[in-house]
Amino acid sequence: MFKLSRKLQSLPPYLFLEIDKAKRIARQEGCDIIDLGIGDPDQPTPQYIIDALYRAALDPANHRYALDQGLPSLRRSISAWYKKRFNVDLNPENEVLPLVGSKEGIAHFPLAFLNPGDYSLVPDPCYPPYKGGTILAGGKVYLMPLKEENVFLPDFKKIPLSIIKKAKIIFLNYPNNPTGATAEKVFYKEAIAFAQKHKIIIISDLAYSEMSYDGYKPSSMLEIEGAKDVVVEFHSLSKTYNMTGWRVGWACGNEKLVAALARVKSNVDSGIFSAVQIAAIAALDGPDTHIKNMCALYQERRDLLISGLKSLGWQANNPKATFYAWIKIPRKYDSIKFASLILDKANIVVTPGVGFGKYGEGYIRMAFTVPKERIEEAIARLRKL
């Protein structure tokens, strides 16, 4: 009776919903599941942030509609955090826009700039909303393969000129989900020059910048000269402060790009609950002790997982950032069958690489967001396979 729109029909099944379904079935059957699939921090939100939320929630003034563009005090805190972390100057009045999590901003952004027939240049494998947001905006997706031989960076020289002429947006995400790859400033300079030459907008997804190891510190694209001509950068408190459910992120950078996204959002939402914004200010203005402890914890888990997988003869490298391991699988399997085998035989949830795009085939992703004891147990179960 009711027929879905062609846009909605063209979207692939959302990967994590399928994984959740498989987990639920296994747990209903009484299985002891070790979930290395979805990257959701297992540690609690720091107490000082929870306390700030509690105090703000007691104030009836915070129970009203929030401003679409966020509290001025939150925009100032975001600007100050960027200055402290990246030495980047942002005008809190017009270069910062708080979001209900960075995902919604990334998915909504193509609505501001894509017309039918316009292309987004999308890395593959990638975070699914890059493709979904483009399709829902009526645009077309051109895939840029991320291959191991190119350290999981896109090769702009291989994009046909006919596609470049129709491209309006390019998505970049480093540190990268799902591969864990990182990008250096020389690549960012190349990307910015490419975007300036062809008048293409760069969406830089920097959600994992604060999860890094072995002394490595990721950069922001906005550190590069000329970046504000073409770049809008997205960030989030989800991973940095264990606030995935709180839904606080932001877009920043080019004034006109930020304003265009704000115009879209004014038509589809009413801003972040004010008490949550006040808690976000507490997070950004607070000490960096939590971040240091978080990185030390994840590095310990990463080392345990990678060394365990290598002891099994698996091909796995230590990522310098994110909390993901991107692992090659035996050639006789595709990634969905391999992930299903691990779930069926070892009660371990992993994410099949093909769920992030066709160039993710041949890999699985594991998240080290479970305690060390569970990682050790996972390795022990895999050893029995």
CATH number at residue 90: 3.40.640.10
Question: CB-based burial of residue 106 (10 Å sphere; 0-12 exposed, 13-18 middle, 19+ buried)?
Answer: buried
Q: Which of 235, 263, 285 is the endpoint of a domain? A: 285
Instruction: Inform me whether the pLDDT recorded for 68 exceeds 90.
Output: no
Give the DSSP letter string of 56-119.
HHT-GGGGSPPPTT--HHHHHHHHHHHHHHH-----TTTSEEEESSHHHHHHHTHHHH--TT-E
Residue with tokens 């009045």: 93
| Separation between Cα atoms, residue 98 and residue 78, nearest integer Å | 9
Quote the DSSP letter at residue 212: B
Least confident of 146-155, 264-273, 290-299: 264-273
Same domain, 84 and 16: no
Among residues 371, 374, 352, the alpha carbon closest in space to that of 19 is found at 352
The whole-angstrom separation of Cα 203 and Cα 185 is: 16
- For the question of whether the overall pTM of this predicted structure is more than 0.75, the answer is yes
Q: Pick the last residue of a domain from 285, 311, 336.
A: 285
pLDDT by residue (tens digit) across 95-139?
999 999 999 999 999 999 999 999 999 999 999 999 999 999 999
Residue 120 and residue 29 share a domain = no
Asked whether residue 90 is domain-assigned, the answer is yes
Work out the burial of residue 115: count CB atoms within 10 Å of its CB; fewer than 13 is exposed, 13-18 middle, 19 or more buried: exposed
Residue 188 lies in a domain: yes
C-alpha span between 182 and 173 (Å, rounded): 9
pLDDT for res 2: 84
Q: Is 1 part of a structural domain of the chain? A: no
Quote the CA–CA distance of 60 and 50 in Å, as a whole number: 18
Q: 10 Å Cβ neighbour count for 374?
A: 18
Q: Which residues contact 267 (CB under 8 A, 6 or more apart)?
A: none
Residue 227's nearest CA partner among 198, 249, 195 is: 195
Mean pLDDT for the stretch of residues 78-102:
97
Amino acid found at 169: I
Residue type, 110: P
Beta carbons of 222 and 188 less than 8 angstroms apart: no
Q: Of 218, 196, 192, 194, which is closest to residue 85 (Cα–Cα)?
A: 218
Counting beta carbons within 10 angstroms of the beta carbon of residue 318, is it exposed (0 to 12), middle (13 to 18) or buried (19 or more)?
middle
Domain that holds residue 270: 48-285
> What rounded mean pLDDT belongs to the chain?
93
Domain shared by 101 and 237, yes or no: yes
Same domain, 94 and 197: yes
Both 166 and 39 in one domain: the answer is no
Model confidence at 16, in pLDDT bands (50, 70, 90)? low
- Domain contains 109: yes
How many C-beta atoms surround the C-beta of residue 10 within 10 A? 13
CB 48 within 8 A of CB 282: yes
pLDDT-derived band at 83 (thresholds 50, 70, 90) equals very high
Paired strand residues for 231: 202
Query: Beta-carbon neighbour count of residue 383 at 10 Å?
Result: 11
* Separation between Cα atoms, residue 198 and residue 162, nearest integer Å: 12
The number of angstroms, rounded, from the C-alpha of 366 to the middle of its chain's C-alpha atoms is: 15
**End residue of a domain, out of 235, 262, 285:** 285
Q: State whether 344 and 250 are in the same domain.
A: no
Residue 149: inside a domain: yes
Rg (CA), the chain: 21
The number of distinct structural domains making up the chain is 2
Q: Is the pLDDT of residue 265 over 70?
A: yes
Q: Are residues 116 and 234 in the same domain?
A: yes
138 and 245, same domain (yes or no): yes
- Confirm whether 346 is domain-assigned: yes
348/224 same-domain check: no
pLDDT (tens digit per residue) in 309-319: 999 989 888 99
CATH for 295: 3.90.1150.10
Do 29 and 119 have their domain in common? no
Q: Among 56-60, 193-197, 333-337, whose mean pLDDT is lowest?
A: 333-337
Q: What is the dihedral of CA 109, 180, 208, 182, to 10 degrees?
A: -90
Q: What is the pLDDT of residue 176?
A: 97
List, for residues 166-195, the tens digit of each pLDDT value: 999 999 999 999 999 999 999 999 999 999
Asked if residue 36 lies in contact with residue 350, where contact means CB atoms within 8 angstroms, the answer is yes
C-alpha–C-alpha distance, residues 203 and 256, integer Å: 13
Instruction: Examine the domain organization and report whether 302 and 353 are in the same domain.
Output: yes
- The DSSP annotation for 318-363 comes to --SBSSEEEEE--TTS-HHHHHHHHHHHH-EE-EEGGGG-GGGTTE
pLDDT of residue 31: 73
Is 262 a member of any domain? Answer: yes
40 and 54 both lie in a single domain: no
In a domain, 138, yes or no: yes
